[in-house]
Copies of this chain bind each other. A is one copy, B any other.
C-alpha cells in the first residue's frame, strides 16, 4: 500500500507518516523501484499501534524506544515484552489520574450552588488519601 492509502486508512497526513519514519517512530518503510514507499502488513501494524498509543497519550519517547528494540533484532524478547507491560501500566496509571479528576468534577457538579467550598474541601473530594496536591 502506498503512502496515500495508509494516510487515508488511518486518517493521518502523508507528512505525519514521513515524519514518524524520520524520527524512527516507524521502521524504515521499504521502497518500490521508483523510490516510493510501499507499506507492508507489518508496517500497517506499526502505524495502527503507534496511532493508538499516541491517542492514548503515550509519549513519543517511549514509543521510539520500543520501536528501536524491535529494529535491533529479535534478541531481547523479554525486554520487548516487559516494555509492553510497562506501557500498559502507564496507561492504567493515567486512567487512575483521570478518574480522580472525574470524581472531582462530579463533586463540583453535585455541590454546584454551594459557594462556601474551597479547594481544600475539593481536594478532599479529589483524593482522600494523597496528601500532595
Chain A residues in contact with chain B, CB under 8 A? 9-11, 41, 44-45, 47-49, 52-53, 55-57, 77, 80-81, 84-85, 87-88, 91-92, 94-95, 97-102, 104-106, 108-109, 112-113, 117-119, 122-123, 126, 132-133
A9 touches B133 (CB 8 A): yes
A6 to chain B, nearest CB (A): 11
B101 touches A98 (CB 8 A): no
The contact sample of 17 A-B pairs, CB cut-off 8 A, is A10-B133, A44-B119, A45-B122, A48-B119, A48-B123, A49-B119, A49-B122, A55-B101, A77-B112, A77-B113, A80-B112, A84-B109, A84-B112, A85-B109, A92-B102, A95-B95, A95-B102
